[in-house]
Amino acid sequence: MAIEGDGSMTSRWRKNADALAKLVRNHEGPLTQELVRKPGRFGLGQVPSRLAPDAVARSVCGFCSTGCGLKLHLRDGVACNVSPDPDYPVNRGMACPKGWEVLSPLDADDRATQPLVRTDDGSLAPTTWPEAMRHFTEGVRGVQQAHGDAAFAFLGTGQMPTEELAFLGALSKFGLGMVHGDGNTRQCMATAVVSYKESFGFDAPPYSYQDFEDSDVLVLVGSNLCIAHPILWERICRNPHDPRIIVVDPRRTETAEAATQHVPLRPKSDLVLFYGLAKALIERGCVDEAFVAAHTTGFEAFADFVAAFDEDRVLAETGIDASAFARLVDTIAEGERVSFWWTMGVNQSHEGVRVAQSLIDLALLTGNIGRPGTGANSITGQCNAMGSRLFSNTTNLLGGRDFTCETDRADVARLLDIPVERIPSERSLAYDEILEAVREGRIRGLWIVATNSAHSWIDQNDFRELREKLDFLVVQDMYASTETAEMADLVLPAAGWGEKDGTFINSERRVGRIRKVRRAPGEALADFQIFRLVANAAGCDDLFERWKTPEDVFDLMRTLSRGRPCDISGIEGYRMLEESGGMQWPVPESATVDGAMPEQERRLFADGRFFHEDGRARFIFEAPRAVAEPTDEAFPLVLLTGRGSSAQWHTETRTGKSPTLRKLAPAESQLEIHPDDASRAGIATGDRVAVASRRDRLVVRARVTTVVPRGSVFLAMHDARTNRLTHASFDPYSHQPSYKHAAVCIEPATAVD
């Protein structure tokens, strides 16, 4: 492999318009005809010219991490309808509203269909792909020449197939010389990643969805499963053991309403509750002493530490009453198969890592791990957050490796056949640190791929101000209409889910196949193709000779994973995934010898062996910390944020395009207010209410309800204005934003509001 010039990024850039044009022309072949010509590539025996019962492609849903299997019904080789796959082991014939409507966003009027470039008059004007690549290379090269290779960074996503995530991370770092890149998974899953790595030795959610049906006690913490992961709630509803369901959440959510116990603790008092619970369980003799002695370290110190969390302290700091605490302790003590589950209420916290680890500590001390119906289980958010965690090459080197480890870098260089000096020897800055570097002028250019930072990032006004500090902003997205795309210097139009091939990894570690069943509109390209164009334009495509198709990259991922905890080397290719209904990692080669197939639902740690060198899990704990922005006289209420309904997804870039989903979601934002707080402020349901933090003020409709506790208000995250109010504080270990705690005040809106 030869690299032109002196090896610096500057000398490697070159324009290659002819090759670009060829790549674009190749892509513009009619994909729907390709479906007809090569039906085997889509898992079909034959594609008839009209819809027929067997004209079906199987794929995995492109919204949430549940990873439901969907049947895509084809007419003339193009998907025209959807139904849930009754044979897929995840959802068994069920789908939530988003799954049923997964095709609608593809038909939206505001799809990006051509590259757009910012012109002298400030508008975004259409351009060609070769011109877009010229702007891209000049923009990136300009920043890197002036400020160094590390002055350009990327922000990715948990919404793209793993093959594309791996390509983006490898291209940016090994090809374009970037050092820093992160993903929007920082906003939802970073806390779980750090917790598992520290406690288990690898980012390894241990469970299978079967555990929802095998538990006799389920503890859901900061998780409104009914609307955030409806199919997983359905799995609980199928549990034949008449389980006790405990919901720990300040709000009386839909899930809390349906639970057998609701523990309505004060916002951000979780750590005190769980340390107090651990103390009570230890005193009750609930320690699985054989398991703790054989498979863990640090229990004695943990037991000493939690001794300070007596019941009086727990009740005073969490606000729950003595009977609720006693019932919580009793239920867990009496459970034979107790599982602990958490989502964003834990992850998006100023001390989320320690809260997650307090749940891991509870599972370890009671021996509730590695057995059916147990576990300390993080439920992921985005459809491919788990793929991002292992292969996005952002803060982890490919395959869950470490950029700072010489051996890991040498391994990756050898396996990918690239010079080792191409691999940065430092870890990437996290999302918040990248933005801080933008503020300080150390990062001057950003490539944002498939995420809408200008809506979703915490303290949104600050993000918008930071944009002014960038010399060059590229946004690659399905829509040119997102808040972030509208700020860009260059917009690259991308294909969406359903318009490209690849794999996702769901919350239970299941690798599932996604399928191309539509042609992207206009000149929009699969992100994979865009990365090939960029590699070609930048003159580093010889590094990526083995990255020609998504399945090529899947093969590389298999190679990179061999011998790692996330080993998928035994998945022999896309066909095996299609035939198996997805496979949970690990799948080493030994698991699929002579056509053998591993069991459909498997959990980790059944042998009590964890991923630390000594094979033991660690008890990790720390004194609780105060929130960054406590309430006071001027801002006396806590703002909680979260999902509004099962029909809404994050910034609604896609779900907002479906008329059906819009009908199922609230017509406008509502601020939930407790009746006592509403009465004190003179506010009734339906009134226009102004809600203000130290950062901004906005007006919404009031909904007076006891769903929220006294002293708190709730606003859904889907409103593009919600993050004008949130406070930019972060967990110190995971750098995950603390979306669920900011100090605000309310008053009736005035005529001028």
In angstroms, rounded to a whole number, what is the distance separating the alpha carbons of residues 618 and 296? Answer: 6
Residue nearest to ligand SF4 (CB): 99
Residue 423 sits in the site that holds ligand SF4 (CB under 6 A): no
What DSSP state is assigned to residue 404? T
Between 569 and 584, whose beta carbon lies closer to ligand SF4? 584
**What's the count of helices (H) and strands (E) in the chain, helices before strands?**
28, 26
Contact residues for 733 (Cβ-Cβ < 8 A; gap 6+): 194, 198, 353
In angstroms, rounded to a whole number, what is the distance separating the alpha carbons of residues 30 and 730? Answer: 47
- Least distance (Å) from ligand SF4 to the CB of residue 80? 18
**87-116 positions binding ligand SF4, by CB under 6 A:** 91, 95-96, 98-99
Q: Token pair of 464, please?
A: 């918008």
Residue type at position 285: G
Residue 68 sits in the site that holds ligand SF4 (CB under 6 A): yes
Residue 511 sits in the site that holds ligand SF4 (CB under 6 A): no
Please identify which residue in 59, 66, 396, 482 interacts with ligand SF4, judged by CB under 6 A.
66
In angstroms, rounded to a whole number, what is the distance separating the alpha carbons of residues 580 and 603? Answer: 17
Between 379 and 443, whose beta carbon lies closer to ligand SF4? 379
- From the list 59-67, 138-146, 674-682, 693-701, the region that binds ligand SF4 by CB under 6 A is 59-67
Residue 61 sits in the site that holds ligand SF4 (CB under 6 A): yes
Q: How far apart are the first and last CA of the chain?
A: 63
Between 662 and 688, whose beta carbon lies closer to ligand SF4? 662
- Least distance (Å) from ligand SF4 to the CB of residue 99? 2
261-263 and 152-156 beta bridge pairing = unpaired
* Of 6, 22, 9, 72, residue with least CA distance to 516: 72
Residue 231 sits in the site that holds ligand SF4 (CB under 6 A): yes
Please identify which residue in 169, 205, 222, 230 interacts with ligand SF4, judged by CB under 6 A.
230
- Least distance (Å) from ligand SF4 to the CB of residue 278? 32
Residue 460 sits in the site that holds ligand SF4 (CB under 6 A): no
Which single residue is written with the structure tokens 């989903």?
Answer: 661
Residue 44 sits in the site that holds ligand SF4 (CB under 6 A): no
Residue 448 sits in the site that holds ligand SF4 (CB under 6 A): no
Residue 431 sits in the site that holds ligand SF4 (CB under 6 A): no
CA distances from 113 to 124, 345, 369, 473, 493 (A): 13, 38, 49, 19, 6
CB 55 within 8 A of CB 83: no
Between 228 and 683, whose beta carbon lies closer to ligand SF4? 228
Q: For residue 586, say if its preceding peptide bond is cis, omega within 30 degrees of 0.
A: yes
- From the list 58-66, 308-316, 567-575, 674-682, the region that binds ligand SF4 by CB under 6 A is 58-66
Residue 493 sits in the site that holds ligand SF4 (CB under 6 A): no
CB 742 within 8 A of CB 629: yes
In angstroms, rounded to a whole number, what is the distance separating the alpha carbons of residues 634 and 637? Answer: 9
Any idea of the CA torsion for 276, 281, 283, 289, to the nearest 10 degrees? -130
Q: Token pair of 602, please?
A: 């498997």
Q: Token pair of 145, please?
A: 């020449």
- From the list 62-70, 169-177, 374-382, 538-546, the region that binds ligand SF4 by CB under 6 A is 62-70
Residue 130 sits in the site that holds ligand SF4 (CB under 6 A): no
Residue 20 sits in the site that holds ligand SF4 (CB under 6 A): no
Between 96 and 571, whose beta carbon lies closer to ligand SF4? 96
- Least distance (Å) from ligand SF4 to the CB of residue 452? 18
Residues engaged in binding ligand SF4 (CB under 6 A): 61, 63-64, 66-68, 91, 95-96, 98-99, 230-231
